[in-house]
Structure 1
């Protein structure tokens, strides 16, 4: 019954703000957190999928995001704790929906709350391209310009060792992960162009290489980000900023 109920809520929540509001105004978030921790396998999966859909709606609906996912709300805290536990313990079937849910909530986290960055960065160093791709996409929601804490989050990604993983993925990753890794690398470099870690990792060289790869610059977002970021990094280099030699 629990598995069926969680599945029904998952299907009902898809793209539906009023339904998501009804779900989050009940005790459902707290229940999902408990089911993620203690439920049977099918219940856990359906709960993770339901949370992925609810957070996807909340990402687009600022009112729902503010009411349902207040950082100090016990239900929100319980959900995030469980999502992070799953990401940290590498439960393969639940991993991707939980990554997506954390990414969807990127705009709800405070600057000081960086505990979700390291587990996502860790998954950048993963042989399975789809998992690395989802980690890139989730982290991009923290580092993109639309997130008003993008500077803090970009610094947190660099501190967690994200740059070297992203460079590996940009050079050697499969195509499905190359573009998301380049997009994330561009956002980080754009927000923290004076980072010594990025200079030492030769990020500008990577971006110059990427801008000559036809299959990468077919994507308009990538092409535009590459141009903007290269310009910014070159500006800092020509100023002789410390660390850029």
Structure 2
């Protein structure tokens, strides 16, 4: 029994060679035949087992299986499984036949019913292996094409579907057959998470990567990329792709491939970028550079500012002077748009929680490209670029080095980004999420704006009265960042906000229980600290309102409690009357 278990374990992916596995199975089959011949009772049944096992052994001796067992480039996974199934059958047969070395009427009469059932089970198992082996032989017959499902029901049909496709990708002689199998595998992967898992467990990733790295057929590469994209829907699968050194391959191919493949590669990078380790790996490979270069292809930029032009495609992709860029001019507008959408999404996903990728975006003037596409792009392209800028701005709020590198004072990039964020913030229509995102980004960049850029403040103050509460709340949060103590221009900004009607509008948002209350209260407190001398506070009775809020539960919120007390004290000095909060 121990020998049986050891052989089965080896058959499911042990370290011994397949040639040894096959030789072991044939040896066991010979022992079964001998045991069948030596049986002293149930001779007809034992002889039937011997005949079937003899047929099984002749199949195991097939030249096709022998050649496949020693070939290092052959896909061995189905070989291992089916051979393991055959080993279980052979050892089971041997275990049963050895019970009949002794004869006797008592043994036959007493155990007839029991052994009859055992014989039927063993014969059925042998028949299953006899059905499996022709399928296996046809798989390794030389054509390497899909051979259909295994006839036997002893093996999950999903496994045989997966094996035949992977084997075709690994062993088919023509690129068209390999591409067709990759497309089939991609469709199979997207059907269910179980299918996806089976593809990975049965060793489908290395053949797909091998197909992707083979530049003899673009169609095959596209099909392989699609399959890998569908496989990369699980963090563990993405980690496996990283272990297989997928990131360097994708970045390399992104720089030299035709546009149809570049689009698929960018989508795969975007899918993998959901994993933090993948973002780090792509940062090490400088994946952002070719993505920005492809995103900026044929993008009209401001000719009056040559210093803001994005580096050329050849330079960004690190091509030598003798290596031309992919001939993309003749591609359809639809394909060019699809490529830009894929690249913009990849840039957005790579920038999430990745300072290294953000710095590379800044180094390549990528922000200028993103800003231009927010202006001229539509749909998913505009959305992806906007989300990338929002992600970038959010990080720059707390990362001083990034803010200084990307948003230098009075730089064309800073102006372009700010202009487009303001344009989106001022847009009407139904895309409220874009308006809120743009306002959020403006608030994150509050310390990058000079005191003279009061148009930004005017827009934000107006949005305090926006019908959507999320937008109004984001406007209050953003204005709060312009007038907080950490902002060097807080006093000038506070005076401008008050002049634009910020006091009156913020007080209208002080509704208990609503999401606008705390942001509006913080804003009003900062305005009180830095512009308390304005008549607007007296006209709106801001002091009385703040005193009332100080006694309410909302005024005890950790974000505003101390700030509220300071604001009341400041207003009391300018408006008059002792504060009830300090009595």
* Matching residue of 1:3: 341
Listed as ranges, the matches of 1:73-84 within 5 Å are 73-84=411-422
* Matching residue of 1:190: 529
Alpha-carbon distance, 1:89 to partner: 2.0
Match status 1:199 vs 2:543: no
* Matching residue of 2:462: 122
Offset from partner CA, 1:49-68 (integer Å, 9 cap, x none):
10011111111111211121
Offset from partner CA, 1:120-172 (integer Å, 9 cap, x none):
111101222111000001111101111011001111111111111111111x4
Task: Give the conservation status (yes or no) of the 8 Å contact 1:129–1:173.
Answer: no
Structure 1 residue corresponding to 2:366, chosen from 28, 34, 50: 28
In 1, Cα distance between the equivalents of 2:574 and 2:556?
Answer: 27
SS in 2 for 1:220: coil
* Matching residue of 1:18: 356
In 2, Cα distance between the equivalents of 1:218 and 1:5?
Answer: 47
SS in 1 for 2:464: coil
* Matching residue of 1:176: 515
In 2, Cα distance between the equivalents of 1:150 and 1:131?
Answer: 22
* Matching residue of 2:452: 112
In 2, Cα distance between the equivalents of 1:15 and 1:197?
Answer: 42
Relative to structure 1, is the Cα distance of residues 174 and 127 closer, same or farther in structure 2, using a 3 angstrom cutoff? farther
Range 57-66 or range 229-238, more displaced: 229-238
Task: Give the conservation status (yes or no) of the 8 Å contact 2:498–2:531.
Answer: no
Task: Give the conservation status (yes or no) of the 8 Å contact 1:16–1:57.
Answer: no
Structure 1 residue corresponding to 2:426, chosen from 88, 92, 104: 88
* Matching residue of 1:242: none
* Matching residue of 1:160: 500
Task: Give the conservation status (yes or no) of the 8 Å contact 2:477–2:519.
Answer: yes
Task: Give the conservation status (yes or no) of the 8 Å contact 1:71–1:108.
Answer: yes
RMSD of the TM alignment (CA)?
A: 1.7
Task: Give the conservation status (yes or no) of the 8 Å contact 1:133–1:177.
Answer: yes
SS in 1 for 2:385: helix
Match status 1:135 vs 2:478: no
Task: Give the conservation status (yes or no) of the 8 Å contact 1:129–1:174.
Answer: no
In 2, Cα distance between the equivalents of 1:72 and 1:236?
Answer: 36
SS in 2 for 1:148: coil
In 1, Cα distance between the equivalents of 2:512 and 2:495?
Answer: 23
Relative to structure 1, is the Cα distance of residues 37 and 43 closer, same or farther in structure 2, using a 3 angstrom cutoff? same
Structure 1 residue runs of 5 or longer lacking an equivalent are 240-245
Structure 1 residue corresponding to 2:389, chosen from 26, 51, 54: 51
In 2, Cα distance between the equivalents of 1:105 and 1:155?
Answer: 19
Task: Provide the TM-score with structure 2 as the length reference.
Answer: 0.40
Structure 1 residue corresponding to 2:555, chosen from 193, 205, 217: 217
Structure 2 residue runs of 5 or longer lacking an equivalent are 1-338, 578-583
Alpha-carbon distance, 1:174 to partner: 5.1
Alpha-carbon distance, 1:191 to partner: 0.9
In 1, Cα distance between the equivalents of 2:555 and 2:512?
Answer: 16
Greater Rg over alpha carbons, structure: 2
Task: Give the conservation status (yes or no) of the 8 Å contact 2:538–2:575.
Answer: no
Task: Give the conservation status (yes or no) of the 8 Å contact 1:121–1:135.
Answer: yes
In 2, Cα distance between the equivalents of 1:92 and 1:210?
Answer: 30
Task: Give the conservation status (yes or no) of the 8 Å contact 1:33–1:82.
Answer: yes
In 2, Cα distance between the equivalents of 1:142 and 1:161?
Answer: 15
* Matching residue of 1:243: none
Alpha-carbon distance, 1:46 to partner: 1.0
Higher relative contact order (CA 8 A, sep 6+): 1
In 2, Cα distance between the equivalents of 1:27 and 1:230?
Answer: 46
In 2, Cα distance between the equivalents of 1:114 and 1:174?
Answer: 31
Match status 1:230 vs 2:572: no
Relative to structure 1, is the Cα distance of residues 93 and 130 closer, same or farther in structure 2, using a 3 angstrom cutoff? closer
